[in-house]
Structure 1
Amino acid sequence: MENIFKLFLKNIPFPIWIKGLDGKFKFVTQEYVSIYKKDISDFIDKKNEDIFDRELVEKYNSHLNWVVKNKKARTQEGYLNGEYRECTIFPILNNEGNTIAIGGFIGNINDIKVKDKEIKEQRNIINTIIDTLPGVIFYKDINHKYVYCNEGCKSFYRQKGIKNIIGKTDLEINEDKKLAQKFISDDIYIIKNKESIYNEVAFTLENGSKQYREVAKLPALDENNDVMGVVGISRDITAKKEFNNKLKYLSYTDILTGTHNRAFFEEKAIELFKEENFPIGVIMGDANGLKLINDSVGHLEGDKLLKNIANIIKESCKDKGYVCRIGGDEFVVLVPHADEKYCEIIIKDILNKCKNKKQDFINISISLGASTTDNINKDIHQTFKEAEDKVYRQKLLQEKSIRSAIMNSLKVGLETKSVETEEHTERLVKNALKIGKKLRLTMAELDELILVAKLHDIGKIGISEEILLKPGKLTNEEYEIMKSHTEKGFRIVQSSSELIHVARGVLTHHERWDGNGYPLGLKGQEIPLLSRIVSVVDSYDAMTNDRIYKKAISKKDAINELEKNSGTQFDPDIVKVFIDILNREDPYNFFKIE
């Protein structure tokens, strides 16, 4: 039997050795000695000192002494002949438990080590890639504890004041327990159903600010298709959400007035049209005189008017309805749970606020109408049409007086600019009438002549005071701007269809008889008669009264100037008539009308 054991040990295809307590080799296998490229005879009855170099001897003896002393096996790893080895040394004990020899065997773990190294390197590469990816990436086991998280995840939780999340659940790391429980419930669903979940979540950071994140979680499956845990990917969408909110705001907001726009109105009208919101009131409004203001004092003033009206409507409808600007000068208010009486209260409040609100030289005015629906068969757009009809009927009744009031406000504004005084206008009207009567104009033509005289410079309301009141000579650029007052005035006056002839007089009062005037370069009889009259009396008045840029001259010198420019700047016939009038007038009753 003993021989069988010896043969068994000898034929074991593994590196095995046995040493006595004296440290000498008693048995070695061929596999063992082959590692050191020696023969069996080189080991038997030899000590480590006889075979290995000093460094290895010290290392081997240290392990041997530890095993003898502790009577326990000891395993050490090493790198030998270009391969990883694992050496296990163990005591050989007799029945009394005493150590009678030392045994050892060597295992080749090179493949395992190489594989482990490759796995570690791959894991490091993967971790590096994951850490450099934008966003938060994590892995939780089936008990909902965090097992792994990338650098983005660590950074996110550091912002919340949490240094480490590994081994913890969401309930342990989130102050918002309701949200934490939601995360765990999602994990349970994913593990149970092997399905992914996508959420949008709002987090509160340590500084109190809100951060919005898009979270995708999916099951991690093993080779048997069993769920090992949950993988999560989360990215910050705060900027995207803010951008979308801004885009939504811009899509549904009128930028000029800050009210809602037409697109919002169309959607909200559909959304509100439910019995639970009945009755629904629709208040329609149309700003009065916007075109006239744009043409007279410019679009900036027109924009200011719209803003003022919008602010008044928003103030009157605060928490009551949705204010929308649906066109250039059109507003509409959708008011749920509002009958016509309630809408009328809102309308009266808007009109009162308009009366009390002033905008430079212009009275703020808006025409309003309202209609309601409490019938599922009468939609918002039908109701809107009814309200719109009421507005336009009101505008037809008010238009003339409103336009007249605006025109008067503009005229007062022109006087306020110290450009045209009331006395100057009065003198022009009186002198123009004298000429008109001498030329035997009809009463209608005289009425128009009065209006041309009064409104000829109304376009100057749209010229800046820096140019109007400049004491010195105007630059070429400033002069061109000044010349535009004829066209501005034309647009203002022609807003009244019944004043079209007056508008032409306003447009052409700076035309010259020789064709060198502006803005049209008309010549001789091409120039409207009313313009030719106003041109003469306006020039005479400018010469005989002090202006910012020059002192007045005498009546005689003014007459000489009229004669000098007769046939070039002025209509010679009108100059002759006017000079005759001036020469026959009593100098002490200068403006007496015959």
Structure 2
Amino acid sequence: MEEKYLGEIYKSFLSNIPWPVWIEGIDTTIIFFNRYYEDMYNIKLESVKGKTNKEAFPLEKAKIYDEQINECLRKRKTYVVEGIVNDNCVECFIFPILDNDGEPKAIAGIIIDINDRKLREAEIEKQKNILRTIIDAVPESIFYKDKESRFLGFNKKFEDFYKKRGVEEIIGKTDLEIYGNYNEAKKFIDQDNKIMVTKKATYFEHRIQNENGREIIEENVKIPVVDKDGQVWGLVGLSRDITERKILEERLRYLSEIDILTGLYNRYSFEEKIKELNHEQYLPLGIIMGDVNGLKIVNDTLGHLEGDNLLRSIAGVLKEICHPNGYVFRWGGDEFIILIPNCDESKCEKVIRKITKKCEQSDYKFMQLSIALGEGIKYSLQEDIYDCINKVEEKVYRQKLLEKKSIRSSIMDSLKKSLEEKNMETNEHTERVTKYALEIGKKLRLKISELDELALVASLHDIGKIGVNEDILLKPGKLTKEEFEIMKTHTEKGYRIINASSELGNVAKCVLTHHEKWDGNGYPLGLVGEEIPLMARIINVADSYDVMTNDRVYKKAIGKEEAIKELKRCSGTQFDPQIVKCFTDYLKNKIPY
């Protein structure tokens, strides 16, 4: 009774499944149709039950049904076929009904109407074909990759590019497998990885050779493909040939690369030239920067037309000295830059000396031609040219401070004047210390730029005293411990005054440390030996000698021989022994007793 009841349930279940369902024996005799099957094929179960397919259906259809059933029985797993019924697309899932031993007892099928799905697929395919046609018609190369940089697709232009180079298989491969230049291919993949990490589009230009061996310039853009969850699954790239455009740009650039006033290359030309020279074959690259002295005075007193004549005269000197080995550019209003390939420091200094000498010999009716010059060297491709220029500019700035007619030197003069007005230091003392320091620097074979910096340190070494109370500075007797501590702060005050100008950072450090001692007992940092900047050590010796040999409010001068003995006595404790020897040798040979 229970089995009969279950049988009715199963039959009712099959009859009410909302898809056509059929069951046949393994001998193709018809066992069951549900009403949806009857409606689809306009056939009643009662009229064909127990018959075979060949007896129930037209011979051609029966043959197809039998083949499908035999295939399913052979594979003993679900077999899927598609067909057209009543002008609709259907999909039939045919599967064997197996007993407990896995042997087939019958065959069943469920028919699903897939017409809507097929229509959607057809529409999607239509859209894909339209899109493919559009993409293939685009004159640029288009490609897309997965997140492992493997090519997933591309347009005809991209495919033709590689076919002309003998590459037929692209899908699933990376640039390393299809691009002829390994290093360039590696760059492409590194670039892909960066794009997929940053999720930012990247634009770049790239030079390649076409199928005829001619170099062309490509403009490239790569865009990451990000899903709704923010995950990157790949990227899309586009490349276009911009060679003709670049040629036109080059022609326009040529027409605009010369500075009209001086006839030199202009700033734009400089930007292009540094790209051209940024190769190993041009290193080391010498960089000389110049700032014309006196231009503002000429402009203010004689007019800007005469100022233009001054600039043309300087430009003529630079062009004459540097041709044909160097490139001269007008960098700004009164600034020039010279680039000299395969040039070291000594060659740069030689060029600077030639320019200085030529300026002195040049016939300019209103004033002697003068230009502050600084040099630097770019040794490696990794160095940034603008970092090198900044360092050179600092040297030019220091030299400008030494020029009496320069605006910046007036700042230094005003500070020195403040000291003189407070009777703290005399101009003579500064000049003597500067002279002694430069003599020591020459004996130590310092470079021109280093001597310029040393002269600045000497001129400004006691500038911090303007921040110390006059009662302490001018006290005739010995200072108390507290007063001496205040006096020692003049090095730090000088450092802060000078360090306000970033170009004088090294000068400020030397001023800060010119009272440090060789044995580490100086102030304010307690530096030892060569921890103390060289120029600070030089100033310590020169300043100490001048203080000993000239009257001060708090002491009387001693003789030169006694001062030399004192320098030697303190050699190795207060003073650098090498500097003491250089200076005492100079004193014995140059200064009478």
**Which bracket does the TM-score occupy, shorter chain normalised?**
0.3 to 0.5
* TM-score, scaled relative to structure 1: 0.47
Larger radius of gyration: 1
TM-score (norm 2): 0.47
